[in-house]
Chain A
Amino acid sequence: MIYFNNVSKNYKDAVALDGVTFTVEPGEFLSIVGHSGAGKTTLVKMILADEFPSGGTVFFESINVHRLKNKELTDLRRRIGVVFQDYKLLPNKTAFENIAFAMEAVGKTEEEIMSDVPHVLELVDLSEKLHHFPHQMSGGEQQRLAIARAIINQPELIIADEPTGSLDPVNTYEIVQILKKINDLGTTVILTTHNRGVIESVDKRVITLENGKVVRDTKHGK
């Protein structure tokens, strides 16, 4: 599904990625682990074409993502749901509206929005917070809302970039469980983290990054 072929990324005086090559199969749950600055975020930004490589290619199925024009890039991003460490919710919109916005973006009708949004909020246990603004919610709730937004349009891939980075252990556990549930339903998940505990509770394939290089690729991360 995703193919990294010898991808490098150099910033002015630092190397973020150095000859990274790997493949992600459909339905897989891949964790990418490494210290801060190991290149995890740069790597996931490559898939979204939010960063351009200094060398190498990134394919999403048969599409070279860095060759896409504006409109095609919008289409690609609609096939990928993204969850960030800092949630990236729209602060001026309620929980309901945040999700509705993602549905409006892909042209869903008013009826679909009215029926799907409450459903997905129930899935992440936020039914009570329908009309709350992000600043009225806890970190864990905001992250669950971000996940609900990421999955609402049934993407083929979920990218979760340090989703538990600013959460306590209880909330971290809940987020991991939700991601596993999504993966069980058939969606490919790519999760980055620097938290060993998260990887152990996921117990799936793990790629370890160090200084921009892939140093380990194991079937079951322990």
Chain B
Amino acid sequence: MAMTTFKRIIKGGFLNFKRSGIISWAAVLVVTITLSVITTIILLQAVLHFSLNQIKDKVDVTIYFTIGASEEKIMTLKSSLEKLPEVATVSYTSAEEALRIFRERHQSDYPTIQALDEIGDNPLGAYLNIKAKEVSQYEDIANFMKSDNSLTPGGESIVDKVNYHQNKLVIDRLNNIIGGAQRLGFILTLLSVIITVIVTFNTIRLTIFIAKEEIGVMRLVGASKMHVRGPFMIEGVIYGVVATMITLVLFLPVTAWLGRSMTNFLGINMYDYYLSSFFQIFAILLLSGIILGVISSWLAIRKYLKK
């Protein structure tokens, strides 16, 4: 009995969808627009995420050691730094390596090289380059460095200088920009999702408004609420599924074009990203589409079922 009812409701939903013709397609179009907005937001988030990561990657803190600081002590410091939860990587550059890099960089700067040759000794110390997981965590790491001079007991500090304080201004500003960009992105996302959801809800409400008389007749004939509501909700599901398919197909050429001509500008190949996250995007869209369709139908029809 329940199975028969269920089958009838599903069949009714498909028939309604087919026979409502242009009205059904209008609803599908609006849901498609909503899902396209969601897809665009997903792709924009990817670009934002990627760019922010790239910027974050350029930020680091370097600890310069005094000339002749023992490698053993530096390694002790390195391993204790690596234990900090905020630290992503620590890379060690020895004094010799530092000199080599310096010479390479100043290859064409003859006076400098000459001066260096005249000194004979290596005037440079070793250094540690630290990357934090989050830009906001550099301060913690710098503070650790201050308190951790105890690592070199009984002697002078082997740390010559930490460039955090020179970089602090830039890091703080960057932190603000990243925070702001994320907040702005969130607000824009929320706003556009709310707007499109309202538009979709109203469109589906209109399609059900058109069937208002029909709903009344069904009730007069003695149909239960579920029997009346069911097919409309199945229609909602169909809107969601069809719109998901259209959106997914639509974004193939769009991202292919973006991938071909905008990869340098965006810093990320949209087409590759789209294909690699295809199933995730598919799942998000399908779920949003179906939930949107079903809930809109449910709410819209409630009004006409009250009698």
CB-CB under 8 A from A149, the residues of chain B are: 221
CB-CB under 8 A from A101, the residues of chain B are: 218, 221, 223
Does B222 contact A105, Cβ atoms closer than 8 Å? yes
Interface string of A48-65 (1 = CB under 8 A from B): 101000000000000000
A48, A105, A110 — most chain B CB neighbours (10 Å): A105
CB-CB under 8 A from B213, the residues of chain A are: 88
Interface string of A85-114 (1 = CB under 8 A from B): 000111111000100011011110110000
Does B222 contact A102, Cβ atoms closer than 8 Å? yes
Does B221 contact A105, Cβ atoms closer than 8 Å? yes
Q: Is B220's beta carbon under 8 Å from chain A?
A: yes
Query: Min CB distance, A87 to chain B, in Å?
Result: 9
CB-CB under 8 A from A74, the residues of chain B are: 219, 222-224
Tell me the B211-243 residues at the A interface (CB within 8 Å): 213-214, 216-225, 227
Query: Min CB distance, B55 to chain A, in Å?
Result: 57
When A92-B16, A109-B4 are in contact, do A102 and B307 touch as well, CB less than 8 Å?
no
Alpha-carbon gap, A90 to B12, bound state (A): 12
CB-CB under 8 A from B222, the residues of chain A are: 74, 77-78, 102, 105-106, 153
Does A88 contact B220, Cβ atoms closer than 8 Å? yes
Does B4 contact A89, Cβ atoms closer than 8 Å? no
B interface majority secondary structure = helix
Alpha-carbon gap, A74 to B219, bound state (A): 8
Query: Min CB distance, B22 to chain A, in Å?
Result: 13
Alpha-carbon gap, A101 to B243, bound state (A): 29
A48, A104, A107, A110 — most chain B CB neighbours (10 Å): A104
Closest to A99 in B: B221
Query: Min CB distance, B76 to chain A, in Å?
Result: 78
CB-CB under 8 A from B217, the residues of chain A are: 88-90
When A88-B220, A92-B16 are in contact, do A107 and B8 touch as well, CB less than 8 Å?
no
Does A105 contact B19, Cβ atoms closer than 8 Å? no
Category for how many chain B residues contact A: 20 to 34
Query: Min CB distance, B129 to chain A, in Å?
Result: 71
Does A92 contact B20, Cβ atoms closer than 8 Å? yes
Tell me the B193-223 residues at the A interface (CB within 8 Å): 213-214, 216-223
Q: Is A82's beta carbon under 8 Å from chain B?
A: yes
Alpha-carbon gap, A70 to B220, bound state (A): 12
Interface string of A38-52 (1 = CB under 8 A from B): 000000000010100
Tell me the A106-137 residues at the B interface (CB within 8 Å): 106-107, 109-110
Does B307 contact A50, Cβ atoms closer than 8 Å? yes
Task: Name the contact of A110 in the complex, choosing from B4, B16, B20 (C-beta under 8 A).
Answer: B4
Q: Is B169's beta carbon under 8 Å from chain A?
A: no
Alpha-carbon gap, A90 to B220, bound state (A): 12
CB-CB under 8 A from B214, the residues of chain A are: 90-92
Alpha-carbon gap, A106 to B4, bound state (A): 12
Task: Name the contact of A105 in the complex, choosing from B16, B216, B223 (C-beta under 8 A).
Answer: B223
Q: Is B15's beta carbon under 8 Å from chain A?
A: yes
Alpha-carbon gap, A109 to B4, bound state (A): 8
Query: Min CB distance, A68 to chain B, in Å?
Result: 12
CB-CB under 8 A from B249, the residues of chain A are: none
Q: Is B1's beta carbon under 8 Å from chain A?
A: yes
Alpha-carbon gap, A90 to B213, bound state (A): 9
Alpha-carbon gap, A50 to B222, bound state (A): 13
Closest to A100 in B: B8
Task: Name the contact of A104 in the complex, choosing from B15, B19, B20, B227 (C-beta under 8 A).
Answer: B227
Closest to A104 in B: B8
CB-CB under 8 A from B8, the residues of chain A are: 104
Alpha-carbon gap, A101 to B8, bound state (A): 10
CB-CB under 8 A from A153, the residues of chain B are: 222
Alpha-carbon gap, A149 to B214, bound state (A): 15
Query: Min CB distance, B11 to chain A, in Å?
Result: 10
A82, A101, A109, A110 — most chain B CB neighbours (10 Å): A101
Task: Name the contact of A77 in the complex, choosing from B20, B220, B225 (C-beta under 8 A).
Answer: B220
Alpha-carbon gap, A221 to B227, bound state (A): 42
Mark A residues whose CB is within 8 Å of B.
Answer: 48, 50, 70, 74, 77-78, 82, 88-93, 97, 101-102, 104-107, 109-110, 149, 153
Q: 9 shortest A-B CB distances, which residue pairs?
A: A78-B222, A105-B223, A92-B19, A88-B217, A102-B221, A77-B222, A105-B222, A104-B8, A105-B221
What would 19 A/B residue contacts be, using CB atoms closer than 8 Å?
A: A50-B220, A74-B223, A77-B221, A77-B222, A78-B222, A82-B220, A88-B220, A90-B217, A92-B15, A92-B16, A92-B20, A93-B15, A101-B218, A101-B221, A102-B222, A105-B218, A105-B224, A105-B227, A110-B4
Beyond A92-B15, A101-B221, 10 additional contacts (C-beta under 8 Å) are A48-B220, A50-B220, A78-B222, A89-B217, A97-B15, A104-B5, A104-B223, A105-B224, A105-B227, A106-B222
